[in-house]
Amino acid sequence: MSITSESRPSLLSQLLQVPVIVAALGYLVDMYDLFLFSVVRVPSLKALNVPTDQLLTEGIRLLNYQMAGMLIGGVLWGIIADKKGRLSVLFGSIIMYSLANIGNGFVTSMDQYAILRFIAGVGLAGELGAGITLVTEVLPKEIRGYGTTLVATLGVLGAILAYFVADLFAWRISYFVGGGMGLVLLVLRFNVFESGIFDKVKEKSVDRGNILMILTNWGRLSKYLMAILIGLPIWFVVGILITFSPEFGIAKGIEGINAGKAVMLAFSGQVFGDIVSGLLSQYMKSRKKVIGLFIILSLAMVVGYLLIPITDLFSFYVLCAMLGFCNGYWTLFITIAAELFGTNLRATVATTVPNFVRGATIPLAALFVQFKPDLGVIQGALLIGVATSAVALLALYFIEETFTKDMDFIEKE
């Protein structure tokens, strides 16, 4: 073996760098909180004396507060990450999230619950984008797909963890656990180092984190919008089909569906989907081809979830797991967004894009509520599902392939 090959770091050693592991654990905490509400929605609202016939509308209201917080936080943390550094966001966002999540365990009214879900949403908004940005800049382009797959896989496991914690403990304790995990992660982050690529740009006289550079340039704006659109089907599935699975079950004549179990199974499936899509992308050396395949698979499973005439719980839960698997291109979606833009705007894009997709749950839920009286639960959801998938495929067609793109470049005014 040559000296060069002996001195070359192994794939595993590169993937297990501290920034990659900490980013992955951050996304685990992010996903834990984000979907803990889906798991504890019914018991927490009942404990706050919300009538049974208002569980859906009040649940959507709280979800909208959380997603609005993520929209605002996405812009805020993205700009900070490009101006001050990726690490500033990794510290600030986890502190805000942890304190808000602990506060969620003490709520005694719906107004308190709504405010704290909003604050938690703002805090959570910085985790994924800053983490993915750091990973794409720290790892070589040949293996960064493996790194982002590791981040997303551990992150999705957070949703599964939320189910088991909520199953073992009362809903208030489940929120305390999430806040505690965030504070532990805060300590671990003291060992993380900044991206070398960002440090080089910081020394130059370059405009960083200026969102107007995106909004006032059609080429960048079109890329930005297309990046958002390709992620819409993911959060239609998560924010509507899975979060409100008990209501869809009732519409199909199935009683006793546990929303927490549906979330756990869907994200168990998504763990495997993220792994398969990430590895397939590395094998095919393409982000676009694999994302396109998974959008088509997701649409097929949406149709199956809504229209297959099943009447038993087991079959319904199997569909949830399969829907989760076919929804497993979240990693590639965030990766391609980060790869599209230069270092001086990368964190702004990588942080805002997924949060705008998450925030799209607000208009999607509003459309769902609007269609429900005339079309019914099933047909209303089907119409939205087909539309989001069609828009995503059209956007994907026009977006550039980024698999071999070098990350060491900047956006010029």
What tokens were used for 113?
A: 């619950």
- Judged by average pLDDT, the poorest of 109-118, 170-179, 312-321, 363-372 is 363-372
Angle between the 55-83 and 343-359 helix axes, to the nearest 10 degrees?
A: 180
Q: Give the CA angle between residues 131, 267, 60 to the nearest 5°.
A: 90
410, part of any domain: no
Tell me the CATH number at 235: 1.20.1250.20
Task: Give the pLDDT band of residue 224 (cuts 50, 70, 90).
Answer: very high
4, part of any domain: no
* pLDDT (tens digit per residue) in 182-222: 999 888 888 787 888 888 888 888 888 888 899 999 999 99
Residue type at position 403? F
199, part of any domain: no
1, part of any domain: no
177, part of any domain: yes
51, part of any domain: yes
Give residue 216's domain range.
13-190+208-398
407, part of any domain: no
Q: What is the Cα–Cα distance from 42 to 52, expressed in whole angstroms?
A: 9
pLDDT at 3: 41
pLDDT at 237: 93
- Residue 286 CA, chain-centre distance (Å), reads 21
Indicate the number of domains in the chain: 1
pLDDT at 9: 66
* pLDDT (tens digit per residue) in 231-269: 999 989 988 898 889 889 998 888 888 877 888 888 888
pLDDT at 270: 84
Average pLDDT, the chain: 88
Which residues have a Cβ under 8 Å from the Cβ of 199 and sit 6 or more positions away? Answer: none
185, part of any domain: yes
pLDDT greater than 80 at residue 299: yes
